[in-house]
Chain A
Amino acid sequence: MSETLPADGLLGWSWLLIALPLAGAAVLLLGGRRTDRWGHLLGTATVAASFVLAVLCTIQLAGQDGRPADVDLFTFISTGELDVRAGLLFDPLSAIFALLITGVGSLIHVYSIGYMAHDPARRRFFAYLNLFVAAMLLLVLGNSFVALYVGWEGVGLASYLLIAFWYTRPAAATAAKKAFIMNRVGDVGLALAIFVMFAQLGTTSYAGVFGAVGTLAGGTITALGLLLLLGACGKSGQFPLQAWLPDAMEGPTPVSALIHAATMVTAGVYLIARSAPIYDLTETARTVVLAIGALTLLIGAIAGCAYDDIKKVLAYSTVSQIGYMFLAVGLGPAGYVAGLAHLLAHGFFKAGLFLGAGSVMHAMNDQVDMRRFGALAKKLPVTFVTFGLGYLALIGFPFLSGYFTKDAIIEAALDRDDVWGWVLGGVAVLGAGLTAFYMTRLMLMTFFGRARWEEGVHPHESPSVMTAPMVVLAIGSVGAGALLVSVFPLSGWLEPVFGEPEEAAHVVAPAIIGLVVTAVMLVGVLAAWLFVGRREVPVTAPVRVSPVTRAARNALYADAVNESLFMRPGQWLTRALVWVDNRGVDGAVNGLAAGLGGSSSRLGRAQTGFVRSYALGILGGAVLVAGALLAVTAG
């Protein structure tokens, strides 16, 4: 990392980035019904203001050649050897995240004004959404692992509140709890990593840890890498902690777009990229990151092929795409920029796709079953076009966002020039084919074919307050990739963080990779058309299907495994322990009392007799003591 500058100018005010949405949340939560009328506007305004500030800060950062600014705020926890200061680090890496969070966040706030217009609890929704933006900004702007952890659990809370937003629905309440618990499993890893840092290096700040990590033993560095990875897997829905993310779709769709697609779930990628100085020193941990990324990429893509719920397909797509990002950052220096570019592009097109899905649901009385859609292209023209552009960007249609960023990851994998490189590259290419399949299936089932609507549904295009953000995101989906890879290269912007990019010695020429990936993608599209597009889609899912389809519909049995490995044994253990504590431990003590002085039932009977008089005796003694004391003092 390059030398840090004390923050001056606007950067000294960068804490306002967090404070503004936080203040918005506080006003909306404490203000009560009085703020119902304008609460959503305040919520949107504070995030938009943060976005403007983030842009200005980034401009200033660019003016000082990307040298990071450190904003020291106050002493958070200082005792003994531990000294945790609350402070922010505004560097090129946190800047791109701040822009993504506030930019996409603003658009989704605007969209929500329309989407939640008829919800009686709209004010509460905006309060939670503001809370999320504040926590997420703290996560990426904090200058220490403790600050990151505070934001990390803060976004977990916001996610919990928003998944459970319609909490009267048991499914929503359960999904929220599941998300929080599985995230906490990951948080344990992150917490332990912080403990190791303090134990070994005596500090938790980025500057302190990254400056000294090279002095640690190799095993310790690997342990750090793996513990951080556990945290990253929880937050980003990566194997083996992926099962919560699809359930999180119980939340309102703008939440799925912002939190469970564009920003929060990519925090794991941020964590690994931020911790690059640690991962650069541990090949082992990097290999595990790669393996998890590749595995999750496939799990998500396979499950995505089988679901009929439009939001769940998109959710598994997110799981899969974040797998790509993990794969990229797991490659080390060659992959950080590629992974982050894909993260940003994904932020645009996946948020756009979710907003489009929300628009479809809005038109279809909150239906999510794609078997009940069909023929919506003409009814929802704006949604169709914007969604379609996001779709093309995601499957990697030539010269749209995904084409550039996904190919960059595949190139970086192949550039390893070893067996692993070919395996990973192969998995990534295969994933591209699957992505094309499930997304084309989704497009065909939703927008084409025969209308399979339920009775009484009259689809209508969404109001412009909703379509405008979709249009902006669609433009981003089209252009972001080219912009980040060639016009305004992300690798140059991030140079102060990750160092000068090495001139890659390409094993396979990029042009050839592009052709191969495009060909595989077209095969996926064609397959989807063969299986879905040219046949009639039945309104109920066929029951007699191959074991492969059944496994995919069950997301490769992740929930079943979790239930039989953890949930049921846990419940069983809890019941057994309750029994033991009531009969065993308590009984033993009562029994001991019985052995010493009579039957244990006498314990109950003693109430009237001697205990009470004993208690009064003690009280009498205490009064005497007090009296004696007074006498002494007076005398």
Chain B
Amino acid sequence: MSVVDLSRKGHLVSDLPFLLLMIAVPAVGAAVVAALPKGRDELAKQVSLGVSLVVLLLAVLATIAFDTGGDRFQLTSSWTWIADFGVSFALGVDGIALVMLLLVGVLVPVVIGASWNDELPERRSMTAYFAWLLLLESMMVGVFAATDVFLFYVFFEAMLVPMYFIIGSFGGPRRQYAAVKFFLYSLVGGLIMLAAVIGLYVVSNSQLGEGTFAFDALRQLEIDPGVQKLLFLGFFIAFAIKAPLVPFHTWLPDSGSEAPIGGAVLLVGILDKVGTFGFLRYCLPLFPDASRFFAPFVLVLAVVGILYAALLAMGQSDMKRLVSYTSISHFGFIALGIFAFTTEAATGAVLYMVNHGIATGLLFLVVGMLIARGGSRQIRDYGGVAAKAPLLAGTFLVAGLASLALPGTNSFVSEFLVLIGSFPEEPVFTILATAGIILAALYILLMYQRTMHGPARGVLLQEDPAEPAPATGGGATATLAAPRRSLRVLDLSRRELAVVTPLVVLIIALGVYPQPLLELIEPAVSATMSDLGGTD
């Protein structure tokens, strides 16, 4: 409730159209950066960083203006868009969307800072890369801030475009394949969802006399259970591909490993959360009966995903693929928390989305920093790095421990809440999921031991780093030639430290004192549960 008092201070601030600004500022920023003449890379970076910091500031101000005891949707604004079909450009956030916006606000500047000296494929311009990143930020804000289902759909689809170009133009050697796969999967999901969105409109038209896409109106509908099931599936499949849940997951390891590190962080940290966000925002409140009907099925997918993806992560030799698989395993926990239908578990699931973005974001960044030094994504090409680069190793360890949900890190709180909240309703699934924490320890510590511990060896630690290391495995070195000279200093640079420090601080701070975020999230989750006809 502490947030409330601050909001009363200045009406001027709280009256700003935060959400519109958060969409418009990065979009305009993207246009400006794209229009910069070639060769003005430094300026492009500075503008991008500035723009993303403004968005972060707006997100923080929006949080201050948000009243946790107030209406479900706040900071609302709405403009009629396509009057004939009842489409509005309607924005607003509940606590769930707000924490996702905070995550967007934090991760984008971090990603921009981390991409500062990225080695891009030939003939690719830095300005274009940063323009796409800013456009992506704009779309991501829109997708969380939309309170009109059609608007949500538009952002949901439009978000694909910048990500497609980020992967396809700026990624690793197999970037084209990965980008196409990402695009086709998402497109298929999106089209199925479009059908369901239209179906929803038809239902609202027949029940209310005039069609609408407004979320608040739609959740009042009493939809026939049979229709609910169909519409649920339309949304669910799109979200399950996005999240992704096993068996819709095979695009993610390709995209996650081929995307440039910044893109991978945003893909896994935020874009994928749109899927689980969609479960909570749209599937549960709009189709409560169908949600209950399909819940056992979803829970099976969630728990299978937790264990299956964890085992797969253990079997990966490519670090970026490994981290991608760990994410699939984590998304299983989020889905479990959402479909257990308790306030505790769902609150935990939302917190999990935020925490996973921070923890796995950091893990991806550190892995990326290692790869930038060694020119290889293969675990076997590294060894004993800790002795030469203690800061990098320490950051790697913090990220890894957060990923395995060690108490004291942010992820523990969310994983604990998901499990303890699911247990009363779904004991069997929860017990199986809890066994996943052993596998999490295995995949993280195996990777950590192989790369960081042991005697110094591998591509990074040869006597003369000027000699390019022989290309090994997977062709991952094809576009990354010899490690750049500036990285001969193995440990983290000041810039890299500045990039990882905020995430490390958040991991610990939210691990010790998560309550402020929980207080933001819980009212929205309770509202969702009551939409569901919660039996809690």
Q: Which residues does A use to contact B, with CB under 8 Å?
A: 29, 74-82, 146, 149-150, 152-154, 157, 160, 164, 167-170, 172-174, 176-177, 180-181, 184-185, 187-188, 191-192, 194-196, 198-199, 570, 573-575, 577-578, 581, 585-586, 589, 593, 603-604, 606-607, 611-612, 614-616, 618-619, 621-622, 625-626, 628-629, 632-633
A323 to B413, CA, bound (A): 33
Q: Smallest distance from the beta carbon of A205 to chain B beta carbons, Å?
A: 14
Task: Determine which of B184, B315, B384, B427 lies in contact with A577 in the assembled complex, contact meaning CB atoms within 8 Å.
Answer: B315
Select from chain B the residue with minimum beta-carbon distance to A204. B420
Say if the beta carbon of B297 comes within 8 Å of chain A. Answer: no
The residue among B164, B179, B431, B525 with the most chain A CB atoms within 10 A of its own CB is: B164
Say if the beta carbon of B3 comes within 8 Å of chain A. Answer: no
Question: A80 near B419 (CB under 8 angstroms)?
Answer: no
Q: Smallest distance from the beta carbon of B254 to chain A beta carbons, Å?
A: 9
A176 to B444, CA, bound (A): 13
Question: A153 near B445 (CB under 8 angstroms)?
Answer: no
Which residues of B are found within 8 Å of A619, using beta-carbon distances? 158, 161
Q: Which of B136-177 contact A (CB under 8 A)?
A: 154, 157-158, 160-161, 164-165, 168, 176-177
Interface residues on B, range: 35 or more
Q: Smallest distance from the beta carbon of A207 to chain B beta carbons, Å?
A: 18
A628 to B526, CA, bound (A): 36
Question: A196 near B421 (CB under 8 angstroms)?
Answer: no
Q: Could you mark each residue 191-233 of chain B with 1 if its beta carbon is under 8 Å from any beta carbon of chain A, else 0?
A: 0000000000000000000000000000000000000000000
Given A167-B386, A191-B419, A199-B424, A577 and B308 touching (CB < 8 A)?
yes
Say if the beta carbon of B116 comes within 8 Å of chain A. Answer: no
Question: B455 near A170 (CB under 8 angstroms)?
Answer: yes
Say if the beta carbon of B430 comes within 8 Å of chain A. Answer: yes
Given A154-B408, A177-B446, A199-B423, A79 and B518 touching (CB < 8 A)?
yes
Q: Smallest distance from the beta carbon of B526 to chain A beta carbons, Å?
A: 8
Task: Determine which of A82, A172, A174, A625 lies in contact with B154 in the assembled complex, contact meaning CB atoms within 8 Å.
Answer: A625
Select from chain B the residue with minimum beta-carbon distance to A26. B508
Question: B181 near A167 (CB under 8 angstroms)?
Answer: no
Q: Could you mark each residue 267-285 of chain B with 1 if its beta carbon is under 8 Å from any beta carbon of chain A, else 0?
A: 0000000000000000000
Q: Which of B505-536 contact A (CB under 8 A)?
A: 513-515, 518, 521-522, 525-526, 536
Question: A626 near B311 (CB under 8 angstroms)?
Answer: no
- 19 A–B contact pairs at CB < 8 A? A77-B413, A79-B344, A80-B344, A168-B384, A168-B454, A177-B445, A181-B442, A184-B438, A191-B437, A570-B311, A574-B315, A577-B312, A604-B180, A607-B179, A615-B164, A618-B158, A618-B160, A629-B81, A629-B89
Say if the beta carbon of B417 comes within 8 Å of chain A. Answer: yes
Select from chain A the residue with minimum beta-carbon distance to B247. A585
Select from chain B the residue with minimum beta-carbon distance to A177. B445
Given A80-B344, A632-B81, A606 and B180 touching (CB < 8 A)?
yes
- Judged by DSSP, the binding face of B is helix
Q: Smallest distance from the beta carbon of A267 to chain B beta carbons, Å?
A: 14
Given A575-B315, A607-B179, A168 and B455 touching (CB < 8 A)?
yes
Question: B434 near A184 (CB under 8 angstroms)?
Answer: no
Task: Determine which of A81, A612, A629 lies in contact with B344 in the assembled complex, contact meaning CB atoms within 8 Å.
Answer: A81
Given A80-B421, A181-B442, A574 and B311 touching (CB < 8 A)?
yes
Which residues of A are found within 8 Å of B449, using beta-carbon distances? 173-174, 176-177
Question: B424 near A198 (CB under 8 angstroms)?
Answer: yes
Question: A618 near B157 (CB under 8 angstroms)?
Answer: yes
Question: A154 near B454 (CB under 8 angstroms)?
Answer: no
A622 to B154, CA, bound (A): 8
Select from chain A the residue with minimum beta-carbon distance to B308. A577
The tally of CB-CB contacts under 8 A between chains A and B is 191
Which residues of B are found within 8 Å of A150, using beta-carbon distances? 407-408, 412
Which residues of B are found within 8 Å of A198, using beta-carbon distances? 420, 423-424
Question: A78 near B518 (CB under 8 angstroms)?
Answer: yes
A575 to B81, CA, bound (A): 53
Q: Could you mark each residue 384-402 of chain B with 1 if its beta carbon is under 8 Å from any beta carbon of chain A, else 0?
A: 1011000000100000010
Q: Smallest distance from the beta carbon of A35 to chain B beta carbons, Å?
A: 14
Q: Smallest distance from the beta carbon of A321 to chain B beta carbons, Å?
A: 28
A75 to B246, CA, bound (A): 36
Select from chain A the residue with minimum beta-carbon distance to B80. A632
Q: Smallest distance from the beta carbon of B468 to chain A beta carbons, Å?
A: 26
Q: A153-B407, A157-B401, A607-B177 are in contact. List 4 more A-B contacts (CB 8 A).
A: A81-B343, A153-B406, A168-B454, A589-B247
Given A81-B344, A173-B449, A586-B250, A573 and B455 touching (CB < 8 A)?
no
Task: Determine which of A77, A170, A607, A625 lies in contact with B168 in the assembled complex, contact meaning CB atoms within 8 Å.
Answer: A607
Select from chain A the residue with minimum beta-carbon distance to B386. A167
A603 to B179, CA, bound (A): 11
Select from chain A the residue with minimum beta-carbon distance to B394. A29
Question: A607 near B453 (CB under 8 angstroms)?
Answer: no
A585 to B325, CA, bound (A): 14
Which residues of A are found within 8 Å of B161, using beta-carbon distances? 615-616, 618-619, 622
Question: B312 near A574 (CB under 8 angstroms)?
Answer: yes
Say if the beta carbon of B452 comes within 8 Å of chain A. Answer: yes
A75 to B421, CA, bound (A): 18
Given A574-B315, A607-B177, A622 and B387 touching (CB < 8 A)?
no
Question: A181 near B438 (CB under 8 angstroms)?
Answer: yes
Say if the beta carbon of B441 comes within 8 Å of chain A. Answer: yes
Which residues of A are found within 8 Å of B247, using beta-carbon distances? 585, 589
Say if the beta carbon of B183 comes within 8 Å of chain A. Answer: yes
Which residues of A are found within 8 Å of B80, using beta-carbon distances? 632
Q: Smallest distance from the beta carbon of B118 to chain A beta carbons, Å?
A: 22
A604 to B514, CA, bound (A): 45
Which residues of B are found within 8 Å of A575, using beta-carbon distances? 315
Say if the beta carbon of B416 comes within 8 Å of chain A. Answer: yes
Which residues of A are found within 8 Å of B181, using beta-carbon distances? 603
A168 to B315, CA, bound (A): 24
A625 to B155, CA, bound (A): 10
Given A577-B311, A618-B160, A626-B27, A585 and B455 touching (CB < 8 A)?
no
Q: Smallest distance from the beta carbon of B351 to chain A beta carbons, Å?
A: 9
Which residues of B are found within 8 Å of A196, using beta-carbon distances? 423
Task: Determine which of A82, A176, A577, A607 lies in contact with B176 in the assembled complex, contact meaning CB atoms within 8 Å.
Answer: A607
Question: A573 near B311 (CB under 8 angstroms)?
Answer: yes
Which residues of B are found within 8 Å of A628, using beta-carbon distances? 81
A611 to B160, CA, bound (A): 12
Which residues of B are found within 8 Å of A168, using beta-carbon distances? 384, 387, 453-456
A436 to B503, CA, bound (A): 54
A196 to B412, CA, bound (A): 18
Question: A77 near B441 (CB under 8 angstroms)?
Answer: no
Say if the beta carbon of B347 comes within 8 Å of chain A. Answer: yes
A611 to B180, CA, bound (A): 7
Q: Smallest distance from the beta carbon of A244 to chain B beta carbons, Å?
A: 13
Say if the beta carbon of B7 comes within 8 Å of chain A. Answer: no
A154 to B430, CA, bound (A): 23
Which residues of A are found within 8 Å of B454, using beta-carbon distances? 167-170, 173
A633 to B91, CA, bound (A): 14
Q: Smallest distance from the beta carbon of B193 to chain A beta carbons, Å?
A: 14
A191 to B420, CA, bound (A): 9
Q: Could you mark each residue 434-467 of chain B with 1 if its beta carbon is under 8 Å from any beta carbon of chain A, else 0?
A: 1101100110011001001111100000000000
Task: Determine which of B89, B179, B408 lies in contact with A632 in the assembled complex, contact meaning CB atoms within 8 Å.
Answer: B89
Which residues of A are found within 8 Å of B180, using beta-carbon distances? 603-604, 606-607, 611
Question: A80 near B177 (CB under 8 angstroms)?
Answer: no
Which residues of B are found within 8 Å of A199, using beta-carbon distances? 423-424, 427
A559 to B394, CA, bound (A): 30
A185 to B439, CA, bound (A): 10
A77 to B510, CA, bound (A): 11
Question: B438 near A578 (CB under 8 angstroms)?
Answer: no
Which residues of B are found within 8 Å of A153, using beta-carbon distances? 406-408, 412
Q: Smallest distance from the beta carbon of A78 to chain B beta carbons, Å?
A: 6
Which residues of B are found within 8 Å of A578, using beta-carbon distances? 312, 315-316
A578 to B515, CA, bound (A): 39
Select from chain B the residue with minimum beta-carbon distance to A29. B394
A488 to B306, CA, bound (A): 53
Which residues of A are found within 8 Å of B312, using beta-carbon distances? 574, 577-578, 581
